[in-house]
């Protein structure tokens, strides 16, 4: 199910409101995710130790069912990270939300990955492999352009096949990992010993995935400073270049920051 937030409407919101009322909220079950529903979600998140975002994603819905995955990111993880970076908490929350997808792990417990075949092509070249031969034999795994994507669980089968064909290091480097979709080829910039150590960190828990994002901000002081100063357009350009306009990165950063401040 897609995450629900302020402005969402429909039957899924009605079900959310009903579940929140069972937890003590007093919401009108009208199927409209307004300010009252957002505040009720934030209250539940505080009580459950989740990241307080006002957005009802998979972790929040699991908490409503009485389930709590210890590998999920918590509010205290973000507070500690913000303090270590000397970054206001709403600014870090905005960056994390804009970078994140809904959950760093699949339902079966494996880390969420996305294999990028154009990165596999580049990393194979860097490793001294015949990337063109690899691409001709495995066009769904390696090639000069994007593509070949599968469903989230099936990405691990693509990973296995690429590791068998090009080595595990190339496979790790060719994937985006975890909650924040950190590229595996960043491992050196993020001060991991090797690609294997990076993979282990991404497979541990979402707090370890957050640590990877913290390392990225430390390695890129220009980006960190734009976040401190709330210069969202500059942050968007640094992060995504010209693609930031298409992805509305700046607008999403600003909206997430406003929500984080409102719910603080």
Q: Which domain holds residue 40?
A: 11-68
Report the number of distinct structural domains present in the chain: 1
Confidence (pLDDT) at 2: 81
User: Torsion over CA of 109, 139, 164 and 130, rounded to 10 degrees?
Assistant: -140
Mean pLDDT of 77-99: 98
Domain annotation covers residue 40: yes
Domain annotation covers residue 81: no
Mean pLDDT of 240-262: 89
Measure the N-to-C terminal CA separation of the chain; round to a whole number of Å.
26
pLDDT in tens, 107-163: 999 999 999 999 999 999 999 999 999 999 999 999 999 999 998 999 999 999 999
Domain annotation covers residue 264: no
Mean pLDDT of 21-38: 97
Mean pLDDT of 201-205: 98
Mean pLDDT of 92-102: 94
Angle subtended by helix axes 11-22 and 35-48, to nearest 10: 50
Query: Quick check: pTM over 0.85?
Result: yes
Confidence (pLDDT) at 171: 99
Q: Taking 80 as the threshold, does the pLDDT of residue 246 lie above it?
A: no
Domain annotation covers residue 19: yes
Domain annotation covers residue 73: no
Confidence (pLDDT) at 178: 98
Q: Taking 70 as the threshold, does the pLDDT of residue 1 lie above it?
A: no
Q: What is the CATH number of the domain that holds 31?
A: 1.10.101.10
Instruction: Give me the chain's average pLDDT, please.
Output: 96
pLDDT in tens, 36-59: 999 999 999 999 999 999 999 999
pLDDT > 90: percent of the chain: 93
Domain annotation covers residue 42: yes
């Amino acid at each position: 199910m897609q995450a629900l937030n302020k402005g969402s409407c429909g039957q899924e919101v009605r079900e959310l409101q009903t579940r929140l009322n069972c937890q003590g909220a007093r919401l009108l079950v009208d199927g409209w995710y307004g300010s009252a529903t957002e505040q009720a979600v934030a209250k539940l998140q505080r009580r459950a130790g989740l990241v307080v975002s006002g957005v009802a994603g998979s972790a929040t819905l699991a908490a409503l069912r009485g389930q709590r995955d210890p590998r999920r990111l918590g509010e205290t993880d973000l507070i500690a990270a913000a303090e270590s970076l000397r970054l206001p908490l709403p600014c870090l929350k905005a960056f994390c939300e804009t970078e994140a997808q809904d959950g760093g792990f699949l339902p079966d417990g494996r880390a969420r990955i996305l294999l990028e075949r154009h990165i596999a092509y580049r990393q194979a070249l860097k490793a001294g492999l015949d990337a063109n031969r690899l691409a001709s034999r495995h066009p769904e795994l390696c090639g000069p352009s994007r593509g070949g994507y599968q469903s989230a669980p099936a990405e691990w089968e693509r990973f296995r096949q690429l590791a068998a064909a090009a080595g595990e290091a190339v496979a790790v480097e060719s994937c985006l990992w975890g909650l924040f979709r950190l590229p595996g080829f960043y491992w050196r910039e993020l001060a991991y010993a090797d690609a294997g150590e990076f993979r282990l960190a991404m497979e541990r828990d979402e707090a370890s995935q957050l640590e990877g994002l913290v390392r990225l901000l430390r390695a890129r002081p220009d980006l960190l400073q734009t976040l401190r100063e709330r210069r969202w357009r500059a942050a968007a350009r640094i992060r995504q270049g010209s693609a930031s306009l298409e992805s509305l990165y700046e607008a999403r950063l600003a909206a997430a920051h406003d929500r984080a401040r409102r719910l603080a």
